[in-house]
Chains A and B, each alone.
Chain A
């Protein structure tokens, strides 16, 4: 069941602490009175961890920061606080978990950045075979069809299984190539960000990452599809 609730919006302005009125910098807690603060509107996951929008980051340091912030923001700390503060804790700790989930892995981090910058929208990825893969995809689909037919007829599947397993290994290798390519562009993005590269260079990098991500999700679906067929065969 679901509780319909109406969480209070961040009525206090971002500039002042709701409790003591001291100037606030958008930090998790007020620097003066230590009270938990509402989320600043529009803050992104990188900023939540006080990080620049760079795509290479130290995973161990991020995890450590996640643990430190969990310790401070978790609703366990606010059981006896006012309802307003309990809601702020719920809001901030869920944002912390959402942010960590998005940033902890390279691919989801890139997806998040592209989504945040309006380049990529969920569910709008093209499900078209990348041209350079067309031939292999065609072969794979043929093998999958044969497998389904053979299974329906109760024929021997061993040879087909072998063929599909080989194809699967091939596509997994391609997935690794794509990941490496993506990591390369991500590094270029970070460098561009660091050197203050112009808008057009950044736009170009974002578009490339989006294109590679589309290819990646296409191959991933293929691999998952083959794995499913193989497990059922």
Chain B
């Protein structure tokens, strides 16, 4: 039976977890290296083959031009949104990008959902290798503050990876679920999730009912472009300035040197979580450099970045109508919460020591696995009630936004609006949907536009009711009904930032090609390995004196089969290799018998009958 898993698709690392039926506890699945962390890095080699995870991270140093990291920052965004990031991130954005970004990797270009799908496919293969059975369904986590386009892009990535996305779950909520299981906690919980590229804060209420536990999110806030990446970039900036002063060379952020110093500085950052000093050593501009940090230097450097988490934190509390001291438990999630300054800042604000018992890298994936198990088995002893992070609105006269579903509404949530014509014989009504808290449409995030059809007639006569519904994934659905005729109307929505259905279809076809190619790649490697073993054994046996017992015809048949197998191995066609292996086995059958009998004889020689 195919399985369902929980996946944390992170900015820096991604993880896959499952519910262990033996222990009743969720567990992360290790990859080939033994680690449960899959670097969220994708590379394309010169033959067009896709490499993800650990192998791709190695290529960041040698082939940065063919490798991408932190692609999560690009999900659901247009080129205009990422201009600031392009100054610091070595993203190679293809010239034909507009409202959907295309990233240049070697000769090809890919959209962020496609690149994320390569990471998901890697995790899927980890899980399949672990279970030795197919995995085709998953709960995937997203930052709580992700907007509609970013959520849809994540769902698209799942689909492109051959996974049915059972549910998108907000990362802090998933973490709360894992912690709740772990500690059996009740009360009001703040989850502070500071990851590689995103920051979320969620305030939850944990309630025990006769049916089970309810995890009710009261409010959420965050910044989808604030994370450990920003700390890395602040450190890199110091290093680059040092190199520029010392050698006059300005390090290109896209160069191999930039990747080497990034790696060294991240290492130093990690050391500073436990040590008071750290030294980063790196080669750049043809020289070896050293940059030392004290904890105090580091704290000073990152203080403004950490401070940026406080405004969303205060807003979330205000929206939940709670004071910091009314929070019973504080949970830290995400790798950046290992930083002592972050822990201190959070502890001071809530006036209590935060929980750090669970591995902050794994806790989100563990929560996702719990939710996957609930959806998969239908055995429910807990329920997540999450909220929509941003207000949903429609553009009205003068570019003003009318809010129809306020932020922090429990999802699913809906709103109905009645539309009518403003001028005579109008045949259509344009509807523009937005997300955000600002008053004007130009300051909010455009989600989509669509046109309602109406019967031409006097102004104000038409009546079309549009139902906006945010589903349990936090994704918007739209349905329209003509109140005059009672007919449902299909709404053709044009997403402002995202892929439409036909683009997804085309990518799905391509992704199947990739999958087939990956499958073929794996098959040829396995077939070659097997062929090498057989050739080795055959050639060794042919050198044996007992090979003399073969008839000339037999000997010729074996030699021919060996030659044909070698040719097939060079071809790269795994089916041909398998066929030639079978043929070689056939032609050596008699020879194998001879070898076997003689081996038996050797073994029996010198032994007394009663020993046999």
Per-residue 0/1 for A89-114: is the Cβ within 8 Å of any B Cβ (1 yes, 0 no)? 01001110110110000000000000
Q: Is the CB of A1 within 8 A of B499?
A: yes
Residue A165 is within 8 A (CB to CB) of chain B in the complex: no
Contacts of A77 in B (CB 8 A): 378, 380
Residue A43 is within 8 A (CB to CB) of chain B in the complex: no
Contacts of A90 in B (CB 8 A): 412, 469, 471-472
Residue B411 is within 8 A (CB to CB) of chain A in the complex: yes
Contacts of A1 in B (CB 8 A): 76, 148-149, 152-153, 156, 447-448, 475, 493, 495, 497-500
CB distance from A198 to the nearest CB of B (A): 32
Candidates A6, A97, A98; contact of B488 at CB < 8 Å: A6
Candidates B209, B384, B410, B479; contact of A6 at CB < 8 Å: B479
Q: Is the CB of B414 within 8 A of A98?
A: yes
Contacts of B153 in A (CB 8 A): 1
Per-residue 0/1 for B448-479: is the Cβ within 8 Å of any A Cβ (1 yes, 0 no)? 10100000000000000001011110011111
CA separation between A119 and B82, bound complex, in Å?
47
Stretch from A64-72, A134-142, A152-160, A171-179 that touches the partner: A64-72
CA separation between A70 and B499, bound complex, in Å?
33
CA separation between A90 and B413, bound complex, in Å?
9
Residue A61 is within 8 A (CB to CB) of chain B in the complex: no
- Which residue of chain A has its CB nearest to the CB of B494? A2
Residue A145 is within 8 A (CB to CB) of chain B in the complex: no
CA separation between A94 and B411, bound complex, in Å?
7
- Which residue of chain A has its CB nearest to the CB of B155? A1
Residue A80 is within 8 A (CB to CB) of chain B in the complex: yes
Contacts between the two chains (Cβ within 8 Å), count: 114
CB distance from A66 to the nearest CB of B (A): 9
Residue B481 is within 8 A (CB to CB) of chain A in the complex: yes
CB distance from A224 to the nearest CB of B (A): 12
Q: Is the CB of A76 within 8 A of B380?
A: yes
CB distance from A77 to the nearest CB of B (A): 7
Contacts of B406 in A (CB 8 A): 101
Q: How many residues of B contact A (CB 8 A)?
A: 55
Q: Give residues of chain A (1-54) contacting chain B, Cβ–Cβ below 8 Å.
A: 1-7, 9
CA separation between A80 and B4, bound complex, in Å?
14
Residue A161 is within 8 A (CB to CB) of chain B in the complex: no
CB distance from B446 to the nearest CB of A (A): 11
Residue among B376, B410, B447 with the highest chain A CB neighbour number at 10 A: B410
Residue B68 is within 8 A (CB to CB) of chain A in the complex: no
From known contacts A9-B488, A97-B413, A98-B414, infer whether A4 and B493 are also in contact, taking CB-CB under 8 Å: yes
From known contacts A94-B413, A101-B410, infer whether A4 and B476 are also in contact, taking CB-CB under 8 Å: no
Per-residue 0/1 for B148-172: is the Cβ within 8 Å of any A Cβ (1 yes, 0 no)? 1100110010000000001000000
Q: Is the CB of A97 within 8 A of B409?
A: yes
Contacts of B493 in A (CB 8 A): 1-4
CB distance from A163 to the nearest CB of B (A): 25
- Which residue of chain A has its CB nearest to the CB of B448? A2
Contacts of B490 in A (CB 8 A): 4, 6
CA separation between A68 and B214, bound complex, in Å?
10
Residue B375 is within 8 A (CB to CB) of chain A in the complex: yes
- Which residue of chain B has its CB nearest to the CB of A8? B488
- Which residue of chain A has its CB nearest to the CB of B374? A76
From known contacts A76-B472, A77-B380, A100-B410, infer whether A123 and B402 are also in contact, taking CB-CB under 8 Å: yes
CB distance from B214 to the nearest CB of A (A): 6
Contacts of B476 in A (CB 8 A): 2-3
Contacts of A5 in B (CB 8 A): 477-479
Contacts of A4 in B (CB 8 A): 450, 477-478, 490-493
Residue B383 is within 8 A (CB to CB) of chain A in the complex: yes
Residue B433 is within 8 A (CB to CB) of chain A in the complex: yes
Contacts of A220 in B (CB 8 A): none
CA separation between A140 and B470, bound complex, in Å?
41
Q: Is the CB of B214 within 8 A of A71?
A: yes
Candidates B148, B209, B472, B498; contact of A74 at CB < 8 Å: B472
CA separation between A72 and B216, bound complex, in Å?
15
Residue B536 is within 8 A (CB to CB) of chain A in the complex: no
Q: Is the CB of B383 within 8 A of A70?
A: yes
Contacts of B448 in A (CB 8 A): 1-2
Contacts of A98 in B (CB 8 A): 409, 413-415
From known contacts A4-B491, A94-B414, A98-B414, infer whether A80 and B378 are also in contact, taking CB-CB under 8 Å: yes
Q: Is the CB of A68 within 8 A of B209?
A: yes
Residue among B149, B211, B385 with the highest chain A CB neighbour number at 10 A: B385
- Which residue of chain B has its CB nearest to the CB of A4? B491
CA separation between A14 and B233, bound complex, in Å?
61
- Which residue of chain B has its CB nearest to the CB of A72? B211
Extra inter-chain contacts (18) besides given A1-B499, A2-B447, CB under 8 Å: A1-B76, A1-B447, A1-B500, A2-B148, A2-B475, A2-B478, A2-B493, A2-B495, A4-B490, A5-B477, A7-B469, A7-B479, A68-B211, A71-B383, A74-B383, A76-B384, A93-B472, A94-B469
**Sample (21) of A-B pairs whose CB atoms are under 8 Å apart:** A1-B76, A1-B152, A1-B156, A2-B433, A2-B450, A2-B495, A3-B478, A4-B493, A5-B477, A5-B479, A6-B490, A7-B467, A9-B481, A67-B216, A75-B472, A76-B383, A93-B412, A94-B469, A95-B414, A98-B409, A101-B406
